[in-house]
Amino acid sequence: MGTWGTGPFDSDLAADFVDGLEGLTHQQVIDVLERAFQRVTDSGERVDGGDGAEAVAASALVASTLPDSPIVMDPDDGLRESTAKE
């Protein structure tokens, strides 16, 4: 397991989470995202590192759907934080 940056997808756990969404239907993706959020809300005062990494990745995925989001989908590289200056 490794982390190579501070972005929402910059860890093996987050990358594996996102890779696991490939090929799923829209409803299945929604269900996976919902479970990721639910594990964190059910965890109480302490969040497991893996659950936390998945919830952050899930949050960034949701944020990527908002207009003018700094999280963008790169067809070649997957999700990443935008470095574009506006």
User: What are the pLDDT digits (tens) for 46-70?
Assistant: 998 889 999 999 998 888 888 888 8
The larger pLDDT score, comparing residue 32 to residue 82, is at: 32
| Res. 9: pLDDT tops 70 | yes
CA pseudo-torsion sign 15, 17, 19, 25: negative
The larger pLDDT score, comparing residue 86 to residue 51, is at: 51
- Where residue 36 falls (left for φ over 0; alpha for ψ -120 to 50; beta otherwise) is alpha
Domains of the chain, by residue range, sit at: 1-65
